[in-house]
């Protein structure tokens, strides 16, 4: 069996290769991440934050958290999805109370814990009963040797597998998050098989942003990013896949849909342009899936959201950012309210105008559905509106002298 979708299978019209929001992304986010605490007992190599063993004394209280959830619910329908993360949200004794309060407002509540001994079947049942319908867990290696080295604590890999199985048995939808770097990229096929074996509903592959502790790790080079995204699209016929900090996955989805609409040979020609890493991942996937019963599906179209445009992050103190990996402070929910910040902050508004981005992102024909990773742009160049340095694509406009971008990185 190969990882590539059979000819003609899962055909997606180009205009449907990317899902569009049914509401104005400038009016309300689709996803809101609330870092309920910085407390965490793990010491992950790639963590964006300076985690601590106990919660900050000024982190949002239970009442302040409920006020925040009231504010989010006031956006109205369609309500934003609220993901409670950390640190480790299970470090908060009022986690189930917060989940239940948000659920009572009609919000879709999900929890993203660190896998420590606090993740027990009893605790999972508690948050499920309170109203959480989804749980996300991180798996950054195909073995305990790799994953536990990332997490800085022995035994986390086995606990993660056990936690995922317990969550599925509890009836929670499970998403597995995997960060990809030069050090673990060739483990992706084996991680894929594990994710499938765990019956996870989605696999989210995060492309490392060199910030926080992640500055000590090596992100993929642009050509390898492209290879990984094409491979991910291949295997998205096996389970739902999304990417984090790699919005150009949406450009890949459109390019592939256009090629397949032209002919199966055109898609094969596009795949043939990929590099050595793509071929290695494809061959390894075929080996791992040989003899397995697998059900093919149409690829799940990625959703058109980006930092500050359909997505926002609120930290443990109530400070708002375009994402957790983009350290541009936009205001505090205790002072101005989340809705006012999301709708009115000048920086967030600028992130919704991709035609004004600098360099090739500003002239790229895909910038309305991609826009590049603003976090990568800022981490590498210091310019939040700069071109995404992780993207290998060259827009045709750059070949036209009168359309070449005149913006320069700040």
User: Given this model, what pLDDT does residue 51 score?
Assistant: 54
pTM over 0.85: yes
Half-sphere exposure of 100 (CA within 13 A, CB side): 10
And the tokens for 289? 């899936």
Tell me which residues of the chain have a pLDDT lower than 70: 1-13, 41-53, 211-216, 400-410
Q: List beta partners, residue 319.
A: 332
- Read off φ and ψ for residue 75, nearest 5 degrees: -60, -30
Domain ranges of the chain: 14-289, 353-410
Interior CA angle at 312 toward 349 and 50, to 5°? 125
Measured CA distances, 309 to 19, 28, 36, 109, 189 (Å): 14, 9, 22, 20, 31
Check residue 216 and give its pLDDT.
64
Answer left, alpha or beta for residue 268, where phi above 0 means left and psi between -120 and 50 means alpha: alpha
Contacts of 382 (CB under 8 A, 6+ apart): 409, 410
Q: How many whole angstroms separate alpha carbon 364 and alpha carbon 374? A: 15
Q: Please count the other Cβ atoms lying within 10 Å of the Cβ belonging to residue 185.
A: 18
CB 310 within 8 A of CB 30: yes
* Gap between the Cα atoms of 35 and 163, Å rounded: 21
Q: Residues with Cβ < 8 Å from 400, sequence gap 6 or more?
A: none
What CATH number matches the domain at 14-289, 3.20.20.70, 3.20.20.10, 3.90.930.12, 3.30.70.1350?
3.20.20.70
CA distance 250 to 380: 22
* Tokens linked to 367: 């910038």
Task: Using CB atoms within 10 Å of the CB of residue 39, give its burial: 0 to 12 exposed, 13 to 18 middle, 19+ buried.
Answer: buried
The pLDDT of residue 407: 45
Q: What confidence score (pLDDT) does residue 39 get?
A: 84
């Amino acid at each position: 069996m190969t990882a590539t979708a059979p000819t003609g299978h899962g055909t997606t019209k180009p205009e449907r290769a990317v899902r569009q929001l049914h509401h104005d992304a400038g009016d309300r986010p689709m996803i809101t991440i609330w870092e309920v605490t910085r407390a965490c007992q793990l010491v992950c190599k790639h963590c964006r934050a300076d985690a601590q063993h106990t919660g900050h004394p000024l982190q949002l209280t239970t009442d302040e958290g409920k006020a925040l959830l009231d504010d989010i619910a006031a956006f109205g329908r369609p309500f934003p999805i609220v993901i409670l993360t950390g640190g480790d949200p299970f470090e908060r004794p009022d986690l189930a109370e917060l989940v239940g309060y948000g659920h009572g407002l009609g919000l879709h509540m999900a929890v993203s814990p660190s896998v420590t001994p606090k993740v027990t079947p009893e605790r999972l049942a508690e948050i499920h009963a309170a109203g959480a319908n989804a749980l996300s867990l991180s798996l950054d290696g195909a073995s305990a040797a790799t994953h536990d080295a990332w997490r800085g604590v022995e035994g986390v890999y086995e606990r993660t597998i056990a936690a995922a199985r317990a969550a599925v048995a509890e009836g929670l939808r499970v998403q597995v998050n995997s960060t990809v770097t030069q050090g673990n990229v060739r483990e992706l096929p084996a991680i894929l098989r594990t994710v499938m074996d765990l019956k996870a509903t989605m696999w989210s592959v995060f492309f490392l942003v060199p910030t926080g502790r992640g500055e000590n790790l090596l992100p993929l080079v642009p050509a390898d990013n492209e290879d990984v995204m094409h491979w991910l699209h291949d295997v998205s016929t096996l389970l739902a896949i999304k990417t984090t900090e790699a919005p150009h996955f949406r450009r890949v989805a459109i390019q592939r849909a256009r090629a397949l609409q032209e002919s199966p040979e055109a898609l094969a020609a596009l795949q043939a342009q990929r590099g050595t890493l793509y071929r290695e991942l494809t061959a390894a996937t075929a080996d791992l899936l040989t003899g397995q019963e697998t059900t093919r599906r149409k690829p799940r179209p990625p959703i058109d959201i980006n930092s500050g445009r359909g997505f926002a992050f609120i930290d443990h103190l109530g400070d708002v950012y375009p994402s957790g990996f983009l350290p541009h402070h936009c205001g505090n929910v205790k002072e101005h309210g989340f809705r006012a910040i999301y709708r009115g902050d000048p920086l967030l508004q600028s992130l919704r105008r991709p035609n004004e981005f600098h360099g090739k992102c500003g002239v790229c024909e895909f910038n309305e559905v991609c826009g590049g990773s603003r976090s990568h742009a800022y981490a590498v160049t210091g310019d939040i509106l700069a071109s995404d340095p992780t993207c290998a694509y060259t827009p045709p406009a750059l070949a036209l002298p009168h359309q070449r971008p005149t913006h320069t990185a700040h």
